[in-house]
Structure 1
Amino acid sequence: MQGLHSVHMQILIYILSFLPTKDVVRSSILSVKWRYLWTHLSVFDFLIPRVKYGKNQNSANCLLDLVGRLLDKSNCIERLCVKIFGISVNANQVSSLISSIAKNKVQHLHFNLGDVTTTTNCVLPLSFLAFESLNTLYLGLRLTLHIPSVICFPSLKRLVLAYVIFENENSIQRLLSRCHVLEELGWCNCHFKNVKQINVAISTLRTLNIHFDSSFLDCDLFDNCIVKIDVADLLTLRCRTNPAIEFAMVKI
């Protein structure tokens, strides 16, 4: 281990960048010098896969705590991916992490938490409402998402929403209208409560992907729902829905 102590920190960080995130975190036990070395990396990919037998609640809590500590110590995160499958997590903890992520100027965020326990709507924290650095956002959360009127993503080019519940038309239209440079939009098994029409009118949009599977959804949430597409320069439209949803093409 003596040789490792003499290696320049930037070289160590470069070497660690080639390892999977779980191995990078494990390096913190090698020595005192290495304890927080892993927090200087810019790309992190955390995963708890769906297990066939049993669910380890502690593993999910520990992972979210670890991500929270990372966000407190690091100011150089460019890409953060957190995936937890088959284990319930607390919505308040999720909201707190999202707030910290915005403060860290993350550019690419993939947040997939298939099961979220909450009795109230999830409101995006204030620090997330003007997320200037965000370029790519994948948000997979089984909760009702409230979109405030002041939200703005000036740099967001790719947005994918999965399993999110929109409480009304205003909520989803606020989100779409504040993504001024969006090039790719995806919906996967989202729930649209009390929504009769969704207007997709983003001049910069080039790709639209829509996927709804009835095995994941309450079909009553889609009664008489119309998706109106008003995008003159759309290049790619992929759509697979069950139940069927009515589409109205204005400019395409």
Structure 2
Amino acid sequence: MANSACQEINVGSKRGRSSDEAICVDRISRLPDVLIQHILSFLSTKEAMTTSVLSKRWLWVWTSVPIIDLQDTPSCRTDLNIRSRFGQFVTRVLILNKMASLDKFCLKFNLVDHPSHVTTWFRDAVSRDVKELDITIHGTQIFPFLKLPFALFTARTLQVLKLSQGVELHVPGPVSLPCLKVLHLVWIKYMNDESVSRLFAGCHVLQELVLRKYVGDNSTISIISIPTLKIMSIRFATGLHKHRLKINAPILEHLHLEDNLGLEFDLEDVSSLVESNVSVTWLENRHIPLLKALCNTKYVSFNWDWYAKMKRCNFRPHHLYLNLVRLELNVGYGGWNMLSLFLEISNNLKVLVLAKAIVLLAFRQQNDNCRGFECRWKPPRNVPECLLSSLEMVSFKGFEDVAYQLRMVKYILGSARVLKTMEICDDGHLPLELKLGVLKKLSMFPRRSKACQLHFN
């Protein structure tokens, strides 16, 4: 039984090999329809349709697959005839597909010349109790954004909804999506703030939200008050208008936030956060509510280029990160001044990862004066509690052998009482001779912890 299904064939004979192949094909064809349909569900619909040429047994198997996955070609953007044929192809697939219930309807295409046809496709999917709807529309330079049929926002079986690019979110009435657990809104356009509010209000069991907002989406206020939300990823693109982000998610566990706008934060309840990743260009006073709200988080990654306008802020060491055990700082020029503060407020920190913001390497070559911002780093006035009792591992990525980095390493090695590992990784540009010199220099730094091992990669 453990041997190959075709082991009885004489491998030394061409005839034997042909029989072998025939038997293997016959055995696959004898599989139950349900199993074959499951196998075909891992292919795109176009790929599944090609199996119809294998034999009469396979001719219509693809029409019983509960997943429709269609994507047009780049030529649809410029060729009217090809675009028209793709629209006809989608309509034909929906007609031929026999499934009364769809697990997934995925459509990635350039908007056809007749949006009414697209609306019909979506209504057809909803009428078949579709569980997952994944729509991406390109080519909005030629066509207006597509308004979705309102029937989509009352789909009782929909569990996953992903909308990307050329879609306009227009919600004129109350939303009811009782089974929706995953919602992705990526670079779409919003009719107004009310449409966003209505959508969120109708998602009573939502667990994952991905939000990507761009300039000109007609929405300046994002109120996310979802008591069931566990995972949230938000990215705001650069723009001139100020936006307001209000979050009330009491059981939220994972937060990824990228802010390139002048966001005003209002975080009512994110007390269950376990992991957060925050990226900003300028770390300033408007981020204070965000920093305070993350105080219960266990794993934190901060990414910022500049530290500005926080010298007089009231974010001081009494806002302790008592649960924080792993902190990652990806910092650019002028941002290292916050390192001392984070050490002071992270009493139970065990792992510290420091990294130089890669996006600024080219900027550094053009602006040598920026080195002065780095050299302003000063250690804390008093040795932080985490260095005395909990910090066990430090990793410094993108090490360049500059003065401020050496000071940081020297300070941590000389202050961390229970440190076990200090890992230094260069940025890949240090010559071998310089690396040896750096290693020698680092090895001479005094270590408070006798058990500390220094690794230089």
Match of 1:67 among 85, 90, 103: 90
Which structure shows the higher strand fraction? 1
Asked if structure 1 preserves the Cα contact closer than 8 Å seen for 2:136 and 2:166, the reply is no
Counterpart of 1:161 in structure 2 is 185
Give me the whole-angstrom Cα distance separating, in 2, the residues matched to 1:17 and 1:64.
22
Match of 2:106 among 74, 78, 81: 81
2:156 is the counterpart of 1:138: no
Summarize the Cα distance change of 1:120–1:193 in structure 2 as closer, same or farther, 3 Å threshold.
Answer: closer
Summarize the Cα distance change of 1:211–1:94 in structure 2 as closer, same or farther, 3 Å threshold.
Answer: farther
| Partner amino acid, structure 2, of 1:77 | L
Gaps of 5+ in 2: 1-21, 271-457
Counterpart of 2:266 in structure 1 is 248
Measured against aligned partners, the alpha-carbon deviations of 1:52-95 in whole angstroms (never above 9, x if no partner) come to xx8455444444433333333332420222223xx443433322
117-126 or 168-177, which deviates more? 117-126
Percent sequence identity is 25
Give me the whole-angstrom Cα distance separating, in 1, the residues matched to 2:42 and 2:126.
26
Summarize the Cα distance change of 1:186–1:71 in structure 2 as closer, same or farther, 3 Å threshold.
Answer: same
Q: What's the secondary structure of 1:113's corresponding residue?
A: strand
Match of 1:25 among 44, 49, 63: 49
Q: What's the secondary structure of 2:156's corresponding residue?
A: coil
Q: What's the secondary structure of 1:89's corresponding residue?
A: coil
Asked if structure 1 preserves the Cα contact closer than 8 Å seen for 2:156 and 2:179, the reply is yes
Summarize the Cα distance change of 1:201–1:11 in structure 2 as closer, same or farther, 3 Å threshold.
Answer: closer
237-246 or 67-76, which deviates more? 67-76
Summarize the Cα distance change of 1:191–1:102 in structure 2 as closer, same or farther, 3 Å threshold.
Answer: farther
Q: How does 1:189-208 map to 2 (within 5 A)?
A: 189-190=213-214, 193-208=217-232
The higher relative CO (CA closer than 8 Å, separation ≥ 6) is in: 1
TM-score (norm 1): 0.79
Counterpart of 1:100 in structure 2 is 124
Counterpart of 1:226 in structure 2 is 244
Moved over 6 A (4+): none
Query: Cα RMSD over matched residues?
Result: 3.2
Q: What's the secondary structure of 2:134's corresponding residue?
A: strand
Give me the whole-angstrom Cα distance separating, in 1, the residues matched to 2:167 and 2:45.
28
Give me the whole-angstrom Cα distance separating, in 2, the residues matched to 1:92 and 1:246.
39
Q: Which has the larger radius of gyration?
A: 2
Q: How far did residue 21 of structure 1 move?
A: 3.4
Give me the whole-angstrom Cα distance separating, in 2, the residues matched to 1:61 and 1:94.
12
Number of residue-to-residue matches in the alignment: 241
Q: What's the secondary structure of 2:197's corresponding residue?
A: helix
Give me the whole-angstrom Cα distance separating, in 2, the residues matched to 1:29 and 1:59.
24
132-141 or 63-72, which deviates more? 63-72
41-50 or 114-123, which deviates more? 114-123
Measured against aligned partners, the alpha-carbon deviations of 1:1-47 in whole angstroms (never above 9, x if no partner) come to 9x69x856446535534545332112334566644321101233323
TM-score (norm 2): 0.47
Give me the whole-angstrom Cα distance separating, in 1, the residues matched to 2:62 and 2:191.
40
Summarize the Cα distance change of 1:137–1:38 in structure 2 as closer, same or farther, 3 Å threshold.
Answer: same
Asked if structure 1 preserves the Cα contact closer than 8 Å seen for 2:229 and 2:251, the reply is yes
Gaps of 5+ in 1: none
Counterpart of 2:198 in structure 1 is 174
Asked if structure 2 preserves the Cα contact closer than 8 Å seen for 1:121 and 1:146, the reply is no
